């Protein structure tokens, strides 16, 4: 029962993490304009995401423009976009595999050992997808930090972290937790049950030798 609850909790956490990854990838607030030094705060805030750049005005209106060409983007943005897409695909695949191996589902047959291994495989796929998201968010974050502290970067073009990258980090953390729980759901007692127990021979009675 505890193993079943661990699988269900891990699946829910991974599903919530997938929602966070999707929201973080779509949102344009991966980095926002920073007002540092003698830069005067204007009525327009600039945002840049993986797919578009937006200008948010003080009146509440937001104007966004999708990037015209992928070749014009820097390598960090291209790599982050690709890794986030791969992470989402692997997370969806891992959730599908884990669903077939969970004890609360009827998929994968009635073999408990087989279902346990399927759930563990789904957890490993989830961890690989989370690793892609970690690399993507870490690479993008390091690029933002380098540009911010670069003395040759103009003050009016400095950016800081936006809300989307924090949502992506939170989704990655949830996928890691869910994948680890699903990968750890294969207990030792189940993996060792494939070896049949040897039956002890009944003790012979002394009357057989009379």
- Tens of each residue's pLDDT in the chain, 210 residues: 447 788 889 999 999 999 999 999 999 889 888 766 555 555 578 888 899 988 887 777 888 888 887 777 788 888 999 999 999 999 999 999 988 877 766 665 666 778 788 888 999 999 999 999 999 999 999 988 888 888 777 777 788 898 999 999 999 999 999 999 988 876 554 444 444 444 445 555 444 544
Domains and CATH numbers, the chain: 2-28+69-154+162-186 (1.20.140.150)
What is the rounded distance in angstroms from the CA atom of residue 192 to the CA atom of residue 83?
A: 37
pTM of the predicted structure, to 2 decimals = 0.80
Query: Who contacts 172 (Cβ-Cβ below 8 Å, separation ≥6)?
Result: 17, 20, 21, 87, 130, 133, 134, 137
The two beta strands, 62-66 and 52-57, are antiparallel
């Amino acid at each position: 029962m505890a193993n079943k609850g661990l699988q269900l909790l891990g699946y829910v956490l991974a599903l919530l993490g997938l929602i966070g990854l999707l929201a973080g990838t779509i949102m344009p607030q991966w980095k926002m304009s920073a007002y540092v030094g003698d830069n005067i705060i204007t009525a327009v805030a600039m945002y840049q995401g993986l797919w578009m750049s937006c200008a948010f005005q003080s009146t509440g209106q937001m104007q966004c423009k999708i990037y015209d060409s992928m070749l014009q983007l820097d390598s960090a943005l291209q790599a982050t976009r690709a890794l986030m897409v791969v992470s989402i695909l692997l997370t969806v695949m891992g959730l599908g595999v884990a669903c077939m191996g969970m004890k609360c589902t009827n998929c994968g047959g009635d073999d408990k050992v087989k279902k346990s291994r399927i759930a563990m495989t789904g957890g490993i796929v989830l961890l690989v997808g989370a690793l892609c998201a970690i690399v993507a968010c870490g690479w993008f974050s390091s690029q933002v930090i380098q540009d911010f502290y670069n003395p040759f970067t103009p003050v009016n073009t400095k950016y800081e972290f936006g809300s989307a990258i924090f949502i992506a980090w939170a989704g990655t953390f949830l996928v890691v937790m869910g994948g680890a729980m699903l990968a750890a759901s294969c207990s030792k007692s189940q993996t060792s049950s494939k070896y049949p127990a040897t039956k002890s021979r009944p003790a012979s009675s002394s009357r057989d030798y009379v």
